[in-house]
Structure 1
Amino acid sequence: MSKVRYGIIGIGNMGSSHAGAIYRGEIAGAVLTAVCDEIEAKREWAQGQWEGVAVFGSTDEMLASGLVDAVIVANPHYGHPAEAIKAFAAGVHVLVEKPAGVYAKQVREMNDAAAQSGKVFGIMYNQRMNPLYRKLRELVQSGELGEIRRTNWIITNWYRSQAYYDSGSWRATWAGEGGGVLINQCPHQLDLWQWTIGMMPTRIRAFCQFGKHRNIEVENDVTAYAEYGNGATAVFITSTSDAPGTNRLEVTGDRGKIVIEDGKMTFWRLRQSETEFNASNQILFGTPEVWKVEIPDQGPSPEHAGIMRNFTDAILNGTELVAPGEEGLLGLTISNAIHLSTWTDGWVELPLDEQLHYEELTKRIESSTFRKSEPAEAALPVDLSRTF
């Protein structure tokens, strides 16, 4: 195979963006051969947009055509696992948009299907391509920061007005989207949180506020506290109604602290580890010697195109994936645990009770009386009783 023939499942904002990048030749080794969408108006638009590209009304039709070697799944959140599983069954490689799904139970079934297929499976965690976070991961893995003791992430620059939420009847609803800021805006940060430090929490206590300052039914303001097996702790705060917002990540280790803010990384590095200093220090108010190190600019981030290039290279050349699809379960598990902690008003232990989370989510869908006054379009039906 000299070229990977791509099909796009869902040609909304993200799907059409990915299709355009491939069509314009921005992804070496990739060619756009097909797209599909259930909405007729989108299909008509696509026919006039990408000359020579086949347009289908369903995933089944596109897969049966034999025109694609790989698909990018970019339909609404609930449908990601189902469409991916169809593609694996057809012997096609899969790159799924974030989030991997809405609840861990369905994503685990997608991961099982991927493993059985033997096909390349990736997730569009484009922030893993960001040189800042790649550098942080490198510093942690190399031991420069020592043992991780604490992380604090304030990510509140996701401002969304009521006009945004009113732009679609599916937005910010349990049935249409499966959550709010955690499932829509923050999957990248929830992934980076565990990916950069190389650890998953052992338990989480969280407080979500639903429809704070907005006419929506899902969470748009979250404060979560996490604990880890080595004794480390973490705080994660996010919101879509803070103006102006903040994006500041602090990671503290035995050998100092790294801060990422305003696109810049600063490393306060201890000359001697805190553990060693504490063991030998005899001065009453002594503190470790610290050096402020400005980490050089790591260059631009290739974002989505970087993930698509890496995924294409993995198919053609066996290149290691930056964002394996199976790892979509990790950030989603944290998201689900935050929801479950709020719903049950208590601690949630990890590994997550995936069935309990599924049941609690189903309750909220079935009991929802929320209606938007002027929905922009009809919400897609969701059948949570189906297993994938």
Structure 2
Amino acid sequence: MKEVRFGIIGLGSMGTHHARYLINNKIKGARLTAVADINPEKLRWAEESGIQSFTDENAFYCSGLFDAVLIATPHYHHPPIAIKAFEHGLNVLSEKPAGVYTKQVREMNEKAEESKQVFSIMFNQRTNPLYQKLRELIQSGELGQLKRINWTITDWYRSQSYYDSGGWRATWKGEGGGVLINQSPHQLDLLHWITGMEPSRIRAFCYFGKYRNIEVEDEVTAFLEYKDKATCVFTTSIGEAPGTNRLEIAGDRGKAVIEDGKFTFWRLRVPESEFNREYTGGFGEPECWKIDVPVTGKETGHQGITQNFVDNILYGTPLLATGTEGIKSLAASNAMQLSTWIDDWVTLPVNEDLYHQKLTEKIKQSKIGKSVSDKTLSVDGTY
């Protein structure tokens, strides 16, 4: 294979964004050859660019015009579309999140494994050199055994007009959640990608419609426990201005902080555990060096993930964001919502049947706008 031919399904703002950089040859070894959406209005610009367009999903899959599907539809549709693509022997690059509930995503992952096709997910924050550097520091043991994580990510500001722009937005039936499923999947993904850890249990407090006239969560504070005694406090919101994006991780050998585009490492001269074991002077603490960690490179975002996906197909380059890993951040999101609904701790792996039962109850009560269709390609995949 000399190039990867793409078919994009879903031409909302994100699908259109992906299409334009492919058309403009921003991805080496890739070409956009087909697009699909049930709204003919969304297809006109693609047709004018000479791209084959489809309103029928089956015709799209059977066209033979592409080698890989890029999914940019609403959240609920990601797994069924991916499954159909795998069944047609196609590679898949999906927008985040992997889906809305883990029971659905687990089936998608099984189909991906069976198909042996390349599967990646658009966790574009993994291309940020700040987070790559922090991951490298932790994975190498430089920070020592992790003790505490605090991530305050409240710079996802969204106004009421944002939610009013589409009847499907911020509804249980249309999106399946709020800030946890729409904005913060990136940070929930980075938590496990950077640290290599998955929580053993979660206690969360989600607030639904606290700042906006919406059904779903718009502010969340969660406490995560890990098997090795590490803990995490995760706070996110769409209702603060100005917001904060601060990640702080404390380990046995110091503390790392990423904020305002800077990486600072407070490195202990000796590990805290060693100091505590040997020090006999009463008051005192380990000597600490403040280091401004140099970070090179730039965040390549969506295009970086797409290029990596293409390079994997063509040259076997390791995937930066393997699609099957999407279930990990979704499990944390599901657990946070479920913890709030049952007002108790949730042990992971999350009880998938109980979560789906509670979600189904929410969907039945959803006040989704009449403009939203249940068809696969009916609404755009906007953030």
Task: Provide TM-score, normalisation by structure 2.
Answer: 0.96
| Paired amino acid for 1:114 | A
Shift of 1:379: 1.3
Aligned pairs, number:
376
Q: Which amino acid aligns with 1:362?
A: T
How far 1:139 moved relative to its partner? 0.3
Partner in structure 2 of residue 10 of structure 1: 10
| Whole-Å separation in 1 of the counterparts to 2:58 and 2:284 | 68
What is the aligned counterpart of 2:63 among 51, 62, 65? 65
- Matches of 2:43 and 2:353, distance apart in 1: 37
Structure of greater relative contact order (alpha carbons < 8 Å, 6+ residues apart): 2
Distance 2:244 2:373 in 1: 33
2:164 is aligned, of 163, 166, 187, to: 166
Distance 1:153 1:164 in 2: 25
One-letter code aligned to 2:311: D
Tell me the TM-score normalized by structure 1. Answer: 0.95
1:380 aligned residue? 373
- 1:339 aligns with 337
Matches of 2:198 and 2:190, distance apart in 1: 11
In 2: Cα distance, 1:58 partner to 1:98 partner: 24
Residues 1:225 and 2:223 aligned together: yes
Partner of 1:179: 177
Provide Cα deviations, 1:102-145, integer angstroms capped at 9, x if missing partner: 00010000000100101000000000111001111100000000
The structure-2 alpha-carbon separation of the partners of 1:382 and 1:66, relative to structure 1 and needing over 3 Å to count, comes to closer
Letter paired with 1:9 = I
| CA shift for structure 1 position 241 | 0.4
- The residue correspondences of 1:116-135 to structure 2 (distance < 5 A) are 116-135=114-133
How far the C-alpha of 1:381 sits from its partner, in A, is: 2.1
Query: Which residue of 2 is the match for residue 386 of structure 1?
Result: none
Whole-angstrom CA distance in 2 between matches of 1:355 and 1:288: 48
**Match status 1:258 vs 2:256:** yes
| Superposed CA offset, 1:171-226 (max 9, x none) | 00000000000000011001001110100000000000000121101000000001
What is the correspondence of 1:207-218 to structure 2 with a 5 Å cutoff?
207-218=205-216
- Identity of aligned pairs, percent? 59
Unaligned runs of 5+ in 2: 377-383
In the TM superposition, residue 39 of structure 1 has moved relative to its aligned partner by: 1.1
Going from structure 1 to structure 2, the CA distance change for 1:382 and 1:255 (only over 3 Å counts) comes to farther
1:318 corresponds in structure 2 to: 316
Compute the displacement of 1:44 (Å). Answer: 2.2
Where structure 1 has 5 or more consecutive residues not aligned to the other structure, the ranges are: 384-388
Partner of 2:380: none
Letter in 2 for 1:215: N
Q: Is the 8 A contact 1:176 1:382 kept in 2?
A: no
- Cα contact 1:223–1:235 (8 A) shared by 2: yes
Distance 2:14 2:279 in 1: 55
Which of the numbers 107, 129, 139 marks the counterpart of 1:109?
Answer: 107
Moved over 3 A (4+): none
- Residues 34-86 of structure 1: CA deviation (Å, up to 9, x unaligned): 010111211223223xx221001133211100001001011111000010001
Following superposition of structure 1 onto structure 2, how do residues 25-64 of structure 1 map, counting pairs within 5 Å?
25-48=25-48, 51-64=49-62
Q: 1:7 to 1:382 in 2, by over 3 A?
A: closer
